[in-house]
Amino acid sequence: MILRVFNWVMAAVMLAPLVLIVWMSFTPAAFFRLPTTEFSLRWYREAFNYPGFLNSFLLSLRLAGVSAAIATFLAFLAAYGLVRFRFPGKGALEAFFMSPLLVPGVVYGIAMLQFVNSLGLYNTFWALVLAHIAIVVPYALRPIHAQLRAVPEDLEWAARTLGATRTRTLLRVTFPICARGVLSGFLLAFLISFAEVTVVIFMTGPAYQTLPIRIYNYLTDQIDPTVAAISAMLIGLSLVLILILDRIGGLRPAAK
Question: Is 230 exposed, middle or buried (CB count within 10 Å of its CB: 0-12, 13-18, 19+)?
Answer: buried
Residue 254 has pLDDT above 50, yes or no: no
Q: Name the pLDDT band for 249 (thresholds 50, 70, 90).
A: low
Give the end-to-end CA distance of the chain in Å, rounded to a whole number: 25
What pLDDT is attached to residue 204?
Answer: 73
Cβ within 8 Å of residue 20, ≥6 positions away: 34
Q: Which residues contact 32 (CB under 8 A, 6 or more apart)?
A: 24, 223, 224, 225, 228
The arithmetic mean of pLDDT across residues 107-131, rounded, is 87
Q: Tell me the pLDDT band of 59, cut-offs 50, 70 and 90.
A: very high
Indicate if the pLDDT at residue 250 is higher than 80.
no
Q: Is residue 109 predicted with pLDDT exceeding 90?
A: no
- Reply yes or no on whether the pLDDT at 62 is more than 90: yes
Per-residue pLDDT tens digits for 137-178: 999 998 898 888 888 888 888 888 888 888 888 888 888 888
Domains of the chain as residue ranges with CATH: 51-255 (1.10.3720.10)
Query: If residue 2 lies in a helix (H) or strand (E), which one and from where to where?
Result: helix 2-24
* 77-107: pLDDT as tens digits: 999 888 888 888 888 888 888 888 888 888 8
pLDDT of residue 255: 46
Query: Does residue 164 contact residue 173 with C-beta atoms inside 8 Å?
Result: yes
Tell me the average pLDDT of the chain. 85
pLDDT tens string 186-203:
988 998 999 888 888 887
Torsion of CA 47, 11, 13, 60, to 10 degrees: -30
CA distance 80 to 31: 52
- For residue 178, the one-letter residue type is C
Using pLDDT thresholds of 50, 70 and 90, give the confidence band for residue 40: confident
Query: In terms of Cα–Cα distance, which of 105, 98, 75 is closest to 212?
Result: 105
Phi, psi of 25 (to 5 degrees): -70, -15
Measured CA to CA, the distance from residue 39 to residue 208 in angstroms comes to 34
Q: What percent of the chain has pLDDT over 70?
A: 96
Reported confidence tier of residue 253, pLDDT bands at 50, 70, 90: very low
pLDDT at residue number 132: 92
Whether 57 has a pLDDT exceeding 80, the answer reads yes
